[in-house]
Structure 1
């Protein structure tokens, strides 16, 4: 399943995005989370995204972060969460 993150991945969108993540997780098969549009991110947004990835792995679901923006990549690296996302692909990959 291909899933597109919103432009804003921050505290103001956490509640709305939580519902969206639950829908994605309910689907069968691998989940590809595209982050190509993310232009705003904060710790709450990264925390929620991390929870999605950790939950998927605990339930033996394949999940991938694709096309992360430089902002999202740097935020994940700054928080030391690269392992949660199995490393970070370069911007545009």
Structure 2
């Protein structure tokens, strides 16, 4: 299943995001999340996103962010969530951290 994150991944979108994430988990065994639109991120938004990834892994659902924006990658790194949230920087996009593995 291919899904997309909204432009704002913050406290104002947490309830809607959590609802969407539950629907995504119920429908598929593989989830690719397009993160190209994310321009605004806060800790609450990342907490819900991390919860999605942890729930997916717990239920053996393959999950990955695709082409996350620099602002999203910076937030993930700053909050120490790199091990919980996996991403892929394919399609010619550079990773925020050039020394990191993009997958």
- Give the structure-1-normalised TM-score: 0.92
Give 1:28 deviation, angstroms: 2.2
Q: Which consecutive unaligned segments of at least 5 residues does structure 2 have?
A: 90-94, 97-101
Aligned counterpart, 2:67: 67
- Does residue 50 of the first structure (1) align with residue 76 of the second (2)? no
Pick the structure with more helix per residue: 1
Q: Secondary structure at the match of 2:12?
A: coil
Root-mean-square deviation over aligned CA pairs: 1.6
Q: Which consecutive unaligned segments of at least 5 residues does structure 1 have?
A: none
Mapped partners of 1:61, 1:84: distance in 2: 13
Mapped partners of 2:87, 2:24: distance in 1: 21
Give 1:86 deviation, angstroms: 3.4
